[in-house]
A and B are shown apart, each in its own frame.
Chain A
Amino acid sequence: MAASGPSTPYVANKPKDIPTAEALRARIPGWGVDLDRKDRPSYPREIYDPEGTGAHWDYPDEQPDSEGRERSIEHGQLTPVFGTSVPLHGVSGSIRRYAYRYSEGRAAHWLLLLLGDRVEAWGAHASSFVTLRPDNPITETGVLSEGRRHGIASRLGKKRVDVNHQWIDPIVVAGPWVAASAGAVLAVRAITRRGRR
């Protein structure tokens, strides 16, 4: 075939310019040591070996204090072991518990969980102001690292495409607070005006 003629993939040849195994082995430490799939630890995908896991039970002991623990309705039972970080509580807990009425296949399940997340976050921020440790957006967002970790130099002239949306982050973080504050100011002004009449 002429050099100027059609090339892969318009003909059956393999692509050109792939180095030989010898050249690759000389350049790359360990090249090809896992070439045989039998040497790859996840091949085949499933290997039946219940003795090899370290488990010395057919079914684990069940963790106590499981009453009220939420679970996916796609589970046939509560799992014998579960996490106990931050149990459901308050309004967000009610929203989340309601979300668990829907299967993982339903958008309602996930969207209600996200709603619960936001409601809990707003409530936690608001209630933090009546504690000895109110939320501090400066320290908690870590934004001081912009100065300590070369925030400007890390971005300027770097052709980073994430710079075109990073400006949205402060709006995502502070936006709800600005909106809530503006709403509170407007409400107070309206009440004051009504009082003057």
Chain B
Amino acid sequence: MKAMVYRGPYKIRVEDKPMPKIEHPNDAIIKVTTAAICGSDLHLYHGLMPDTRIGHTFGHEFIGVVEEVGPSVQNLKRGDRVMVPFNIYCGSCYFCARGLYSNCHNVNPNATAVGGIYGYSHTTGGYDGGQAEFVRVPFADVGPTIIPDWMDSEDAVLLTDALATGYFGAQLGSIAEGDTVIVFGAGPVGLYAAKSSWLMGAGRVIVIDHLEYRLEKARTFAHAETFNFAEYDDIIVEMKRTTDFLGADVVIDAVGAEADGNFIQQVTGTKLKLQGGSPIALNWAIDSARKGGTVSVVGAYGPIFSAVKFGDALNKGLTLRMNQTPVKRQWPRLFEHIQNGYLKPNDIVTHRIPLEDIAEGYHMFSAKLDNCIKTLIIANPS
């Protein structure tokens, strides 16, 4: 089968790899129809995530058709059209039993701090991902869900991570009616977080980025006020000014490890890999929240230390909330929101490319060319 493989920082290619096989009785093999490139894939692509091995296949956002199931699988059969949450989880450990699916303890031998994620290095368990024609899906009775007939395929693939994560990020903010919410990052997760903040009753939603075309999408798709931080000498002062010098009730970091805005942090964090990423967005989130406010972090960071302004978070009495998203827990409510017309996930898709072109897809997304916001990979055209 054809699959994207990692060849070192900034280099990937499509290779022929052996077909994945059933390795556990509750495995399924999924024939991937559509996958997506996630902003967090760029951390792997840039060599930021420790234990990313040559030959590894990325891709944790994908949907497809069941090709084969293991002997203990009860809920799926060959031919079912399924969406697969990016979390790999057992459904029965201490954490899964309490709904913390992204913190499963039975799927990632390589680290205890993070659960299992498809195609996201050995630090998250060493599972190949879905930017391929086929993929092994462990715990087929737990994670995958049959795609409802009414659901658009592109919406389904966006539900496997980006939409669920944006929605979860807004929830982590514990938004109350009339709250002012600042979202750092107008990528897919930031756009969905901004949109979701309204559903939870926000009174103002402000989105910050430096890419004007993404801010335009934040205005039209997410009804948000926008600020281009490149146009201000100090975006924090501007945020204080626009909130009557109070600060925001809730700030959502939807950027993560590759934030721009400070040259030194960028170079030490993302070029030289001396930090677990550049913590600019997180520090700005801490700075722009009001005292007693909440900072929600759904941008992804690496496991290495980062220069985070923790003292300010302490002195301001902030609540910091974060996690990888327990995706499937979000789905029933998100399905309702899509059916009611409150969310139209695929409005943010800008590019659809074949698997063969994935190296150019990564560069385009990484370098922010061609007004790219979200790129889908068509693995097996139906």
Q: Is the CB of A140 within 8 A of B260?
A: no
Contacts known (A55-B139, A85-B128, A104-B303); A31 close to B199, Cβ less than 8 A:
yes
Contacts known (A19-B203, A161-B260); A117 close to B51, Cβ less than 8 A:
yes
- Secondary structure at chain B's binding surface: helix, strand, loop or mixed? loop
Bound complex: CA A172 to CA B271 (Å): 7
Q: Is the CB of A158 within 8 A of B109?
A: no
Q: Is the CB of B369 within 8 A of A30?
A: no
Q: Is the CB of B99 within 8 A of A81?
A: no
Shortest Cβ distance from residue A9 to the other chain B in the assembled complex, whole angstroms: 4
Shortest Cβ distance from residue B290 to the other chain A in the assembled complex, whole angstroms: 7
Bound complex: CA A168 to CA B171 (Å): 37
Q: Is the CB of A148 within 8 A of B360?
A: yes
Contacting residues, chain B, for A50 (C-beta < 8 A)? 91-92, 96-97
Contacts known (A72-B111, A81-B138); A48 close to B98, Cβ less than 8 A:
yes
Shortest Cβ distance from residue A156 to the other chain B in the assembled complex, whole angstroms: 12
Q: Digitize B1-38: 1 where CB-to-A-CB distance is under 8 Å, 0 elsewhere.
A: 00000011111110000000001111000000000000
Q: Is the CB of A158 within 8 A of B212?
A: yes
Bound complex: CA A96 to CA B121 (Å): 13
Partner of B369, one of A57, A72, A136, A154: A154
Bound complex: CA A159 to CA B332 (Å): 41
Contacting residues, chain B, for A148 (C-beta < 8 A)? 360
Contacting residues, chain A, for B13 (C-beta < 8 A)? 136, 139-140
Closest B residue, CB atoms, query A37: B174
Contacts known (A21-B177, A30-B199); A114 close to B142, Cβ less than 8 A:
no
Does B219 interact with chain A (Cβ within 8 Å)? Answer: no
Shortest Cβ distance from residue A155 to the other chain B in the assembled complex, whole angstroms: 8
Bound complex: CA A74 to CA B369 (Å): 42
Q: Digitize B202-232: 1 where CB-to-A-CB distance is under 8 Å, 0 elsewhere.
A: 0110000011100000000001000011110
Q: Is the CB of A18 within 8 A of B116?
A: no
Interface size on A, residues (CB 8 A): 104
Does A149 interact with chain B (Cβ within 8 Å)? Answer: yes
Bound complex: CA A28 to CA B28 (Å): 41
Partner of A145, one of B10, B53, B110, B360: B360
Does A58 interact with chain B (Cβ within 8 Å)? Answer: yes
Q: Is the CB of B90 within 8 A of A160?
A: no
Q: Digitize B51-71: 1 where CB-to-A-CB distance is under 8 Å, 0 elsewhere.
A: 111111100000000000000
- Secondary structure at chain A's binding surface: helix, strand, loop or mixed? loop
Q: Is the CB of A34 within 8 A of B201?
A: yes
Shortest Cβ distance from residue A108 to the other chain B in the assembled complex, whole angstroms: 11
Per the 8 Å Cβ criterion, residues 36-57 of A in contact with B are 37, 39-43, 45-50, 53-57
Does B178 interact with chain A (Cβ within 8 Å)? Answer: yes
Bound complex: CA A148 to CA B105 (Å): 44
Q: Is the CB of A53 within 8 A of B91?
A: yes
Per the 8 Å Cβ criterion, residues 277-316 of B in contact with A are 290, 303-305
Closest B residue, CB atoms, query A138: B359
Partner of A42, one of B109, B199, B326: B326
Closest B residue, CB atoms, query A51: B97
Does B267 interact with chain A (Cβ within 8 Å)? Answer: yes
Contacting residues, chain A, for B200 (C-beta < 8 A)? 32, 34-35, 40
Contacting residues, chain B, for A114 (C-beta < 8 A)? 50, 273
Contacts known (A70-B109, A149-B369); A61 close to B72, Cβ less than 8 A:
yes
Q: Is the CB of A54 within 8 A of B361?
A: no
Closest A residue, CB atoms, query B331: A41
Q: Is the CB of A86 within 8 A of B326?
A: no
Partner of B90, one of A9, A80, A154: A80
Contacting residues, chain A, for B359 (C-beta < 8 A)? 139-142
Does B86 interact with chain A (Cβ within 8 Å)? Answer: no
Closest B residue, CB atoms, query A118: B47
Q: Is the CB of B361 within 8 A of A142?
A: yes
Q: Is the CB of B24 within 8 A of A85?
A: no
Contacting residues, chain B, for A59 (C-beta < 8 A)? 92
Q: Is the CB of B107 within 8 A of A117?
A: no
Partner of A142, one of B111, B229, B290, B364: B364
Closest B residue, CB atoms, query A61: B25
Q: Is the CB of A55 within 8 A of B91?
A: yes
Q: Is the CB of A165 within 8 A of B266?
A: yes
Q: With contacts A41-B332, A144-B360, A162-B260 known, what are 6 further pairs, Cβ within 8 A?
A: A21-B178, A30-B340, A70-B110, A121-B7, A145-B367, A145-B369
Binding site for A on B (CB under 8 A): 7-13, 23-26, 47, 50-57, 72, 74-75, 88-92, 96-101, 105-113, 116, 122-123, 125-128, 138-139, 141-142, 168, 171-172, 174, 177-178, 180, 196, 198-201, 203-204, 210-212, 223, 228-231, 243-246, 260-261, 263, 266-267, 271, 273, 290, 303-305, 326, 329-330, 332-334, 337, 340-343, 359-364, 367-372
Give 28 CB contacts A-B under 8 Å.
A8-B245, A32-B199, A33-B340, A35-B177, A41-B334, A47-B98, A48-B97, A53-B92, A54-B141, A55-B92, A55-B142, A58-B92, A71-B110, A81-B88, A81-B138, A82-B125, A83-B128, A85-B128, A110-B303, A117-B51, A120-B53, A145-B360, A149-B360, A161-B229, A162-B260, A164-B263, A168-B267, A172-B9
